[in-house]
Copies of this chain bind each other. A is one copy, B any other.
Amino acid sequence: MAKVVTNTERTPAEICEGLGELGVATVHEAQGRTGLLAPRLRPIYEGAKIGGNALTCEVAPGDNWMIHVALEQARPGDILVVSPTSPCEDGYFGDLLAASAKARGIRGLVIDAGVRDVATLRSMAFPVWSKAISAQGTVKETLGNVQVPIVCAGAHIRPGDVIIADDDGVCIVPRVTAAKVLEAGRKREAMEEEKRALYAAGKLSLDVNDMRERLQRKGLVYE
């Protein structure tokens, strides 16, 4: 039943990187406020901002065996996405696996569980978004699946979907809509630039966005 799907399709690098530069908040809005992973996933250091192809990996609780299997499937630019089959905070991933992941071209790790050796991971500049930091070791006994669709932190992710991650969290963009979302995100960014200038100059969003009439119609009263 456990399987590794090889040679899955990827989203082109320039789309992944374009989405990564836009950042999580903008891309999440540009695709209609969808795709966000649960905010329990937090970066282990500030300032990382990446985009790449999802390399999906399903693991048993307290068992990191399949991460070793997944690394062989990596292509440069991938982001490893790990989800346990039941909630777990153990430290599935540390400096040894990070050394291997980096050597295979993996840009970062998204894991709905724990990681360890975080001081070393920070000094390696290997970014991780995780649910916990925990030194708890894991075993290598139970199979799982690599490069199959998974649910990670509440989001459905297929191999080759685009993962973007920054200080705001993690978002997934489906491969089939990624190009369109990139375009929409760039438009949104431009529009936000204009608004930001108006707000910084003291204009109120009530006026910039013509909200007053609708507020009144809904019944807002000023005393």
Interface of A with B (CB < 8 Å)? 1-6, 23-25, 28-29, 32-34, 36, 38-39, 42, 46-47, 49, 60-63, 65, 68-69, 71-72, 85-91, 94-97, 99-100, 102-104, 114, 116-119, 122, 132-137, 139-143, 149, 151, 154-156, 166-169, 171, 192, 195-196, 199-206, 209, 211, 215, 218-223
Closest Cβ of chain B to A15, distance in Å, is 19
Instruction: Verify B39–A134 contact, CB threshold 8 A.
Output: yes
Chain B residues within an 8 Å CB radius of A29: 137
Chain B residues within an 8 Å CB radius of A202: 103-104
Instruction: Verify B69–A206 contact, CB threshold 8 A.
Output: yes
Instruction: Verify A60–B196 contact, CB threshold 8 A.
Output: no
Nearest chain B residue, comparing its CB with the CB of A171: B135
Closest Cβ of chain B to A115, distance in Å, is 9
Chain B residues within an 8 Å CB radius of A36: 86, 134-136
Instruction: Verify B168–A119 contact, CB threshold 8 A.
Output: yes
Instruction: Verify A99–B196 contact, CB threshold 8 A.
Output: yes
Assuming A100-B203, A119-B166, A154-B154, what are 15 further A-B pairs, CB within 8 angstroms?
Answer: A1-B219, A3-B222, A3-B223, A23-B119, A25-B137, A28-B136, A62-B63, A62-B86, A68-B209, A68-B211, A102-B200, A135-B169, A139-B141, A139-B142, A143-B218
